[in-house]
Amino acid sequence: MNCEIIPINESTWRIEDGGVRLFLLAGSEKALLIDSGMNLHTAREVAAELTSLPLSLLNTHADRDHIGSNEEFESFYMHPAEEPVYRRSGKPGTVLPVLDGDVIDLGGRELEIIHLPGHTPGSIAVLDRNSRALFSGDPIQQNGHVFMFGDHRNLEDYAASLGHLEAFADRFDGIWPSHGDCPISPDLIGRLRDGARDILAGKIAGRPTDFHGNRIVVYDLGFCSLLCGS
């Protein structure tokens, strides 16, 4: 088992899989795995060592570092706007669609879906209502890199999504992202929103570079970088 398991509390775990992390949340009746890793291809087995509850999978989005163990699950929760991206990966499985405002109840633990398009069309965050925690996927990061280059990324949608997420800021005390520092403060949402808006307005100078064969522009916000198309 090539991963690090870090308990958050008696019913929540973070699973570090190299440069990405998964989360396992347990209620009184069911458990939910948030994303299935990159290098890890036995996420179900890892989760089974932590809980005996019936297990479901939710993908925050379909970038390859979040779907590494998806073939272990016959079905999984995902926003329907993300399915075309997922199908291009060639991985199997039935998408159980979740939309903005939907709630998954694990038994005394309600998880609300927040749609955050921009990083990908179907990116979602999960608001753990009882624990006042937000599991944000990729859009919110500190000391990380938000990928915003490629045909399915949209910086305008990303900035709007951050504005949408701010409306929920009084409902969570901390953010648990998939990359970078963890946990992080909710005030990063506004800082990222302002940074994205400044990039769109031409107020921040970017640094052109090559990234794995892609010509991109890096916008360094000081606490996080946005990697955008050239």
CA distances from 181 to 7, 16, 30, 133, 196 (A): 16, 12, 28, 15, 20
Q: Which residue has the tokens 């405002």?
A: 101
Closest by CA to 22, choosing from 53, 67, 63, 73, is: 67
List the chain domain ranges.
Answer: 4-229
Indicate yes or no: pTM above 0.95: yes
CA distances from 207 to 47, 210, 221, 227, 228 (A): 41, 10, 12, 10, 10
Closest by CA to 230, choosing from 222, 214, 221, is: 214
Given the DSSP bridges, would you call strands 94-97 and 75-78 parallel, antiparallel or unpaired?
A: parallel
At 230, is the pLDDT very low, low, confident or very high (cuts 50, 70, 90)? Answer: confident
Count of other CB atoms within 10 angstroms of residue 184: 22
Whether the predicted pLDDT of 1 surpasses 80? no
CA distances from 93 to 35, 57, 121, 196, 219 (A): 14, 11, 19, 34, 36
Interval 67-82 mean pLDDT: 98
Q: Tens digit of pLDDT for each residue in 151-205?
A: 899 999 999 999 999 999 999 999 999 999 999 999 999 999 999 999 999 999 9
Q: Tens digit of pLDDT for each residue in 107-145?
A: 999 999 999 999 999 999 999 999 999 999 999 999 999
**pLDDT for 151:** 87
Given the DSSP bridges, would you call strands 207-211 and 214-220 parallel, antiparallel or unpaired?
A: antiparallel
Q: Is 4 exposed, middle or buried (0-12, 13-18, 19+ CB in 10 A)?
A: exposed
Whether the predicted pLDDT of 97 surpasses 80? yes
Give the homologous superfamily in CATH for domain 4-229. Answer: Ribonuclease Z/Hydroxyacylglutathione hydrolase-like (3.60.15.10)
Interval 55-80 mean pLDDT: 98
